[in-house]
Structure 1
């Protein structure tokens, strides 16, 4: 069992190639999660597969799952314009960050 505060959790936002769709999620392994978003099962009905949201444009790191889930819910509750402000602060050019993880 890991010591409290030694876990890694990420809240992240993905978009599609034309940057018209935003998807917010939480995970304990960002690189693995990106792999599965980029390689969905052929019969997948997942939102990210349907809207082709494979491109990482934002993420935050947390040590506690409760904090990560709370933040994910907070971001999901924001309007599109507020999510864009958040992304613009972190990644002003909306570069795809997949290769940086």
Structure 2
């Protein structure tokens, strides 16, 4: 029985065998696509739903791996992004209140 699913390590993705002609007519079927059993396909996606990551093993066959913890640099970038977002939100609020004060439209609470 022919496998319904194929995996490309280079593209880091799965391909449905029934769509092969469509891929070949377009950007092409991945040269490294290898068949994946239906059982493995289901197991891989169940693992992904549970928080694991699908990656290529040494032989190119897809395997489940633990999600890597963010690096210190990635955490810093996330913090910087959050800071920028909060600063922009605060500036918008302050600007709105300042406009109300400038036009004598501010209430005592503002």
Question: If the TM-score is normalised by the length of the shorter chain, which range does it land in?
Answer: under 0.3
Which one has the bigger helix percentage? Answer: 2
